[in-house]
Structure 1
Amino acid sequence: MSWESFWYMGGYAAYVWPAYGVTALVLAANLVWPVWQRKQLFRQLAIKQKRAQSK
């Protein structure tokens, strides 16, 4: 088996590689999204806390 045949995937490369790409994007989003949401939550809580203290 040569590298060329590996990349070509027996003619199915047009379907296989995009599927790998989508899977990688979903996995990355599952790692990044909760971190981003947590930061947003802490920002919103800090804003609410500042408003409550200024009243």
Structure 2
Amino acid sequence: MSSFFAMGGYAAYVWPAYAVFFTVLIADYLSPGLRRRRNLRELRARLARQSARQQRNPTTSP
């Protein structure tokens, strides 16, 4: 079993490569959800600013 974890002397290269791979995989999995939350938050803020602006400066529609 220890020879498996030693990877024939290349463990110093193999295990960090696995760690980087899984880190990127997790980041790639989580980023769309985080981006969606940020976009929704920005959209809500933009709509709130627009609504406040319209309430301050009501324009008459023809």
TM-score (norm 2): 0.82
Deviation at 1:19, TM superposition (A): 0.3
Count of equivalent residues: 53
- TM value normalised by structure 1: 0.92
Q: CA RMSD in A?
A: 0.6
Instruction: State the alpha-carbon separation in 2 of the partners of residues 31 and 49 from structure 1.
Output: 29
Please list every run of at least 4 consecutive aligned residues from structure 1 whose deviation after the TM superposition is greater than 6 angstroms: none
Partners of 1:11 and 1:32 in 2: CA distance: 34
The secondary structure found in structure 2 opposite 1:33 is helix
1:1-55: CA deviations, max 9, x gaps? xx10110000000000000000001100101111111100000000001111112
Q: Distance in 2 between matches of 1:5 and 1:15?
A: 15
1:44 is matched with 42
| Residue of structure 2 equivalent to 1:24 | 22
Unaligned runs of 5+ in 1: none
